[in-house]
């Protein structure tokens, strides 16, 4: 790749990440003014006697783990299909119910049992993802309409899996997955997010997944003429989202050590879509940036923690979040971007004219 192309690509990446980075900067400045010690990190002993990191910053990166993981998969679906999956919360409840069912059915909870339970819930989530993907890719149903089916009935399915109960699990292994591994001060969900990011980065680096997904999202007809199986790419994006759903569902269950089909990752669908939008990705499909969606997830979580720190009631948090997020999305819209570009061009043109007038004088 030539130096010019590298510079152009770097400039494009920075432009796409501008909105979440500006949002981060504004939230950091606001919190530092309001409370200079807001981002301080301390060490403390948790309930199991292990030394762990604590503080608002840790709460932000830990609390956004499920959202960040779901944002990865949602970005692929959005890029390939030009629409969003609104059933990820319900699908996570199903995956979590399968995970708990297998854990509780084992005579003894071992590492092998937990791995088996995770693989089972991963397969189930991928199957439901395939169902959604089939409706979108084969039957050409708009993604939000297609996934409305699972959004409506998914939590009922999760309810049936465990016989209408909200069973608990009690195991040091699952507790460590949802909180801290003994001897490691960083929350385990944060480590899981890092592993997921690494896996997808490697997939993009050593396969054509990123290129094909963007190509299908930008122009399906051209992609098909170039030999790309557009149906398979769309289906694959939903299957990969299913993997993300299973991971997020397992983290949610392990945090609480129980499965509650009604509240597990409730309303996370909208936050996931917003994370993709705040990350500078077009909700109409095409070019995408996974890092932008992950940054968007942390922006949403930082905003939530900030509002709670300001003693905003939980019933009012959603309203305040909606106001801020609408502003961020509007600022990042193509219309506003073109207006800013026009203003910047006029300012540059005025500067050049003034400089030329001075030289002529």
Reply yes or no on whether the pLDDT at 1 is more than 80: no
Q: What is the pTM of this model?
A: 0.91
Residue 236 CB burial class (10 angstroms; 0-12, 13-18, ≥19): buried
Nearest Cα to Cα of residue 259 among 189, 162, 181: 162
Reply yes or no on whether the pLDDT at 78 is more than 50: yes
Confidence band of 7 (pLDDT split at 50, 70, 90)? very low
Confidence (pLDDT) at 350: 65
How do residues 83-111 score in pLDDT, each as one tens digit? 999 999 999 999 999 999 999 999 899 99
Mean pLDDT of 24-28: 92
Give, in order, the Cα–Cα distances in Å from 118 to each of 123, 177, 246, 281.
9, 12, 8, 30
How far is Cα 9 from Cα 30, in angstroms, rounded to an integer?
32
Reply yes or no on whether the pLDDT at 21 is more than 50: yes
Confidence band of 338 (pLDDT split at 50, 70, 90)? confident
Mean pLDDT of 39-63: 91
Cα Rg, the chain, nearest whole Å: 22
Tell me the three state secondary structure of residue 53.
strand
Identify the structural domains of the chain with CATH numbers, from first to last: 20-311 (1.10.3470)
Reply yes or no on whether the pLDDT at 18 is more than 80: yes
């Amino acid at each position: 790749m030539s130096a010019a192309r590298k510079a152009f690509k770097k400039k494009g990446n920075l432009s796409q990440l501008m909105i979440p980075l500006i949002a981060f900067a504004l939230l950091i400045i606001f919190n530092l003014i309001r409370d200079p010690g807001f981002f301080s990190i301390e060490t403390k002993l948790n309930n199991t006697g292990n030394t762990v990191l604590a503080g608002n910053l840790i709460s932000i990166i830990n609390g956004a783990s499920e959202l960040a993981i779901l944002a990865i998969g949602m970005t692929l679906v959005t890029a390939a299909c030009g629409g969003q999956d609104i059933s990820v919360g319900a699908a996570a409840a199903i995956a979590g119910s399968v995970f708990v069912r297998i854990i509780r059915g084992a005579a003894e909870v071992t590492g092998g049992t937990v791995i088996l339970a995770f693989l089972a819930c991963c397969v189930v989530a991928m199957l439901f993802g395939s169902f959604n993907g089939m409706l979108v890719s084969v039957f050409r149903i708009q993604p939000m309409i297609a996934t409305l089916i699972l959004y409506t009935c998914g939590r009922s399915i999760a309810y049936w899996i465990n016989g209408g109960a909200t069973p608990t699990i009690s195991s040091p292994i699952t507790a460590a997955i949802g909180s801290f591994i003994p001897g490691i001060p960083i929350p385990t969900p944060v480590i899981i997010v890092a592993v997921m990011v690494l896996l997808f980065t490697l997939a993009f680096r050593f396969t054509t997944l990123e290129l094909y997904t963007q190509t299908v999202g930008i122009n399906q007809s051209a992609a098909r003429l170039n030999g790309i199986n557009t149906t398979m790419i769309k289906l694959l994006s939903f299957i990969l989202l299913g993997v993300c759903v299973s991971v997020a569902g397992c983290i949610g269950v392990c945090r609480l050590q129980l499965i509650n089909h009604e509240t597990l990752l409730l309303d996370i669908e909208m936050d996931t879509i917003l994370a993709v939008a705040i990350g500078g990705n077009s909700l109409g499909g095409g070019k995408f940036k996974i890092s932008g969606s992950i940054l968007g997830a942390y922006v949403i979580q930082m905003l939530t923690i900030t509002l709670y720190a300001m003693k905003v009631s939980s019933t009012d948090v959603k309203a305040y979040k909606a106001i801020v997020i609408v502003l961020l999305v509007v600022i990042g819209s193509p219309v506003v971007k073109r207006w800013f570009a026009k203003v910047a061009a006029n300012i540059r043109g005025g500067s050049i004219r003034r400089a030329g007038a001075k030289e002529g004088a």
